[in-house]
Chains A and B, each alone.
Chain A
Amino acid sequence: MSASPLIWPLLVPLLTAIGLLFLWRRPSWHRWVGLAGAFGLLAAGLFLLRTVMTEGVTTATIGGWPAPYGIVLAADRLSAALVAVAGLLGTAVHLFSISGVDARREAYGYYPALHLMLMGVCGAFVAGDIFNLYVWFEVLLMASFMLLELGGERIQLEAAIKYLALNLLASAVFLSGVGFLYGFAGSLNMADLAGRLAQRGPSPLSNGVAMLFLLAFGTKAALFPFFFWLPASYHAPPAPISAVFAGLLTKVGVYALYRTFTLMFVADVAFTHGWLMILAGLTMVIGLLGAVVQEDLRRVLSFNLVGHIGFMVLGLGLFTPLALAGGIFYTIHDMIDITILFLIAGVVHRETGRWRMESLGGFYDRAPFLSLLFLLAAFSLSGIPPLSGFWGKLALIRAALAREQYLATAAALAATFLTLLSMAQVWEAVFWKDRPAADPEPADALRPTRWEKVFQMTPIVGLTLVSLAMGLFPEPFFRYAEAAARGLLEPSAYILAVLGGTP
C-alpha cells in the first residue's frame, strides 16, 4: 500500500473510534483497544515527523484531485511536530484515563469521543485549505463537547453551555471570514491564497478579514479579551479530560494563528502583528493575574494556561526568526507541561476529593515523589533554568529586546514572575502546609490500588522525562524549532509543495 504518511494520523483514530463503537456493549475492552489506537497514533505521528524531517514539506491530495481545486493535506515541520505531540499527549491521557475515568463514563462512550477528538486535532494540524481547517475545528468541537458534558453533572452542564455557545460564535466568525476571503481572493487553498493575497498587497479589506480570523482563532486559543469561556469550563470535567483539553485544544487555535498569520496575512505586518503583540501582552499579564487570585486548584491551572498562550502568540507577533522559533519551542513545551500539571491535579483530587486549595494540604508528606514531579513541572512552567520553559522564554525575550519592544518584554517578565508566584502558592497550599485539622476525609476520596497507581504515574513520569529532555538538551529541539520558523517565514517551499508544479 502506497499511502502517504499524512493520512495515518487521521485514519488511526477514526478506525479506533469505529472499532470502539462496534464494541459498545463491552466497555471494559474499550480501554485496551483504545490504548492500542493511541499508541498507533503516536507511531503515526512519529512516522510523519521523520518523513518531514528527511523529505521536507509532505503533502497528500485527497482523491487525486490536484490543488488548488482538490483537498490537500500538508505538513511542514510545525504541523508534524504538533501531530507527534498530539499523539504523545493522547497516549499519556489515555493511560491516565484507565484509572481516572469512572465506569459509567466509559460505558457512555468516553474513549470513542476521545479518539474522534484526537482525529479532529490532527486534522486541523495537517489541513491544507482553510475550509477544511474549519471542518476539523467542528469535528474536534463536537467531540470535545461530548467529552465535556459526559457524565451529566450539574457543573459540567453549566460549563458545557458556556463552552459551546462561545465556541460556536467563534466558528460562525471563522466561517464568515472564510466566506469573505473566498469572495475577494477566489480560493480556499491556503498556499494558493498566499500568492493571491501577496499580489493584491495591503488593503483595508484584507486587514478586515485578518481581524475576523484573529477574532475567531483568538477565541479558540483563549487570547485576552475572548478567554472567559476557558476558566469557566475547563474545571468541570474529570481530570484526564481537563488535561487533554488544556494540552491540545487551545493549541489548535494557536497553530491556526501561526499558519494564517505567516502564510496569508503578511501584507501589513505592522497592523496585524502589532495587534497580535498587544493581545499577547495583555493575555500574559491578565491571565496570570487571574491565576494568582484563584482558589480552586484547576482554575489556577486554567488561568495559567490562558496566560501562557500569550507567550506563544508573542512569538508570532514579534515576527522575527528567533521569536517564531522561541514561540514554537514554547508551544511544544507548554503542551507537555500544562498536561503534566493537570494530571497531577487529578491525582491530588482523586486522593483527597477536594479541589479548593484551602482545604488541601500535606501532600508532600503523603506523596513526596509526586510532589517532586509537580515541582519540576511548575519550575519549568515558570521558566527556571535549565528546564524547558526557560529556553523558550529566553528566546522570546531576546527577540523582543532585539525588536526594541520594551513593553512586550516587560509584560513577559511580569508574567514570568506571576507564574512563579502562582505556582509557589499552589506548592504552599497543596503540598507544603499541614492538612486542615478539622477537616474529615470526604467520602469520595480513594486510596488507589497498585495498578491504578501504575496507570496514574506512568504518563506523568513519561511526560516529565520528555520535558526534562527538552530542558537539559535543548539544542536539537531548538534547531528543529528554528528550521520550522524558517519554513514559516519563507513559505515558498510549503507553497511549492502544495501547489505542485503549477504557478
Chain B
Amino acid sequence: MKEHRFTSLILAAATQYLLPLLLFLSVDILLRGHNKPGGGFMGGIMGASALALYFMAHDARSVRRILRIHPRYFLAIGLLAAAVSGLLPLFFGKPFMTGIWWDRHLPVIGMVGTPLLFDVGVYNVVVGVIMTIFLTLMENR
C-alpha cells in the first residue's frame, strides 16, 4: 500500500533519538511503580505512545520492524508472565499470587520479586493490546 501523507523531516529525525529515550523512560516508570507512582499499566501506555509517535514520523512497517514480532505475542508473553508470577508461590507452599521477594537489592532495578514479574506482564499486555489495535486500524485505512 502506498502511503500519501505529509511527513516532517524534523519529526522523523527527532524521533530517531526520542524513541529510545521514551522507551527507557517507560521502563523506568515500570520499575519504580512498586512504591512510587507508576507501574506496568502506566509504563505500558508510555511505551505504546512512544511507538505511536514513531509511526507518525515513519510508517506502520517500520514500527513492525522495531517490534520484531507481531504485537499479539506481547499480549501472550504478558499474560504468561502474570500467570507465572501467580503460580510461583505455589512451589514455595504459599497461596496463589502471594508476593515473593528475593532478599537482594539489585542496582537500578531495586527489589526483585513476583509482583515485579506481574507488572512486567501488565506492561507487555498493555503494549501488545494497544499496538495490535493501532496497527490494525492504521494499516486498514
Contact = CB atoms under 8 A, between A and B. Distances in A.
Contact of B90 (A3, A17, A21, A22): A3
B80 A18 contact: yes
A22 B73 contact: yes
Given A1-B91, A3-B90, A24-B72, A18 B98 contact: no
Name the prevailing secondary structure of the A interface residues. helix
B95 A4 contact: yes
Contacts, number: 46
Contact of A3 (B75, B79, B96): B96
A11 B83 contact: yes
Contact of B72 (A3, A14, A15, A21): A21
Interface in A36-64: 60-64
Interface residues of B, number: 19
Contacts of B79: 14, 17-18, 21
B95 A18 contact: no
A132 to B, nearest CB: 13
Interface string B96-124: 11110000000000000000000000000
Q: For B76, B79, B86, B96, which residue has the most chain A Cβ atoms within 10 angstroms?
A: B96
A18 B77 CA distance: 8
A38 B106 CA distance: 42
Contacts of A18: 76, 79-80, 83
Name the prevailing secondary structure of the B interface residues. helix
A7 interface: yes
Contact of B95 (A15, A22, A24, A64): A64
B93 interface: yes
Nearest to B97: A63
A492 B79 CA distance: 37
A502 interface: no
B95 A63 contact: yes
Nearest to B115: A63
A2 interface: yes
Contacts of A15: 83
Given A1-B90, A21-B72, A64-B95, 11 more contacts: A2-B90, A3-B96, A11-B87, A14-B79, A22-B73, A22-B76, A24-B70, A60-B95, A63-B97, A63-B98, A63-B99
Ordered nearest first, which 4 A-B pairs have the shortest CB separation? A21-B76, A63-B97, A64-B95, A64-B98
7 contacts: A1-B91, A17-B79, A21-B73, A21-B75, A62-B97, A63-B96, A63-B99
